[in-house]
A and B are shown apart, each in its own frame.
Chain A
Amino acid sequence: MKKVMFASAVVALTVAAIAQAQSSAWKIVADERFSVMTVENKTDIENFTGRTSKITGTINFDAAAKTGSGTIIVDGTSIDTGVALRNEHMRSADWFNFDKDGMIKFVASSVRNTSGNNYAVVGELTMKGITKRLTTTATLKITNANEVTKSMGFAGNVAALSTKFKVKLSDFGVKHPAIGAGRVNDSVEITLAVVATDK
């Protein structure tokens, strides 16, 4: 009986060790040189783009199986549209209410390789305290540590993730009269490009 338990423990430890070796955690680098999120909205008066580099989170990636998961958190209060007054409006309760809850969070639960560095991603996006399922495509490129990555300040390997998807504002409780009147598009396009490192 003891031999069976010992063997089971060894197997369990081995499986855990293999899993640990195959799936590595990559920490997102919150540096404007590497990571940026842009959000574009079209209105009657102008089409504007907001941007931020205040992005944190981790990507868990199994290079052998080409699957993974991850969490990306964006500080909504830091989104800059190029006009200070508009930034204030965006943060206010009339729009995104980032002054009260500034977190935009995406949790990827299913990642499936479609070809090369391309992946189909399914996850949940949370904004204004409302969580919605989101399906998108992403590219993930791994660069092994080399002189160039070291010169950029990375100690380990580097993963570069980029994705683009549309979000319906009304799905997340943004219901300004200007949207209802059609002066502001209910849909925004979000582009995310982040760099993460495993050390």
Chain B
Amino acid sequence: MISRLRPVFLTLAILGVIVLMASFIVSSVITRNAVLAQRIEIQEAGVAALFGAENEVGKPIGSAQSLIINDEKAFLEKTGENGLRYVNDKYLKDNNIYPLQQLTVEFFRNVIAFIAGLGATVMFGLWRFAKPKA
């Protein structure tokens, strides 16, 4: 009886492998433009001077993250050490841009890959188990 389901098990197993591979491909496509970036609030020169920070790019908002921002205008010209890019926080807000983090993409990739991989393994197991006995 269960042997009649073998084509279904095999199809689902192959589908699981495809989804597993696709999760890595899609993830690498989405994150190909990810850059280490620091969100910056640009201050008036006078305000920065009050804090003794007149030589700094601006006030950092949080710590540097690997961000995916496709709008080049969001970045400031000045760059930091090791290719760190500065992002104008006001520009993000004004344009309703909530930058996607590489961490987020990789988290969902890992979840999808785990489920797909586990599913494929189980389906292959069932496909083998359901082999008709000679």
Residues of A within 8 A of B (CB): 33-34, 36, 38, 40, 44-49, 51, 82-83, 117, 139, 141, 143, 148-149, 151-152, 158, 160, 162, 189, 191, 193, 195
Q: Are A141 and B51 in contact (CB under 8 A)?
A: yes
Instruction: Give the Cβ gap from A29 to chain B, nearest Cβ, in Å.
Output: 11
* A47 engages B59 (CB within 8 Å): no
Whether A34 contacts B62 by the Cβ 8 Å rule is no
Assess the A141–B104 pair: CB atoms within 8 A.
no
- In the assembled complex, how far is the CB of residue A26 from the closest CB belonging to chain B, in whole angstroms? 12
Q: Please, how many angstroms separate the alpha-carbon atoms of A141 and B49 in the complex?
A: 10
The CA of A74 and the CA of B61, in the complex, are separated in Å by: 17
Asked if B103 and A47 sit within 8 Å, CB to CB, the answer is yes
Q: Please give, as numbers and ranges, the residues of chain B lying within 8 Å of A44 by CB-CB distance.
A: 103, 107
- Chain B residues with a Cβ under 8 A of chain A: 39, 41, 43-44, 46-47, 49-52, 59-63, 65, 98, 101, 103-104, 107
Complex Cα–Cα for A193 and B48 (A): 11
Contacting pair B62 A193 (CB below 8 A) = no
CA distance A47 to B104 in the complex (A): 9
Given contacts A36-B41, A45-B103, contact A160 B62 (CB under 8 A): no
Among B39, B52, B61, B63, contact of A141 (Cβ-Cβ < 8 Å) = B52
- The 3 A-B residue pairs with the shortest CB-CB distance, nearest first, are A49-B62, A160-B50, A160-B51
Across-interface contacts of B50 in A (CB, < 8 A): 34, 141, 143, 149, 158, 160, 195
Q: How far is the CA of A83 from the CA of B93 in the complex (A)?
A: 12
The residue of chain A having its C-beta at the shortest distance from the C-beta of B100 within the complex is A46
Chain B residues with CB under 8 Å of A51's CB are: 61
CA distance A82 to B44 in the complex (A): 23
For B107, the chain A residues whose CB sits under 8 A away are 44-46
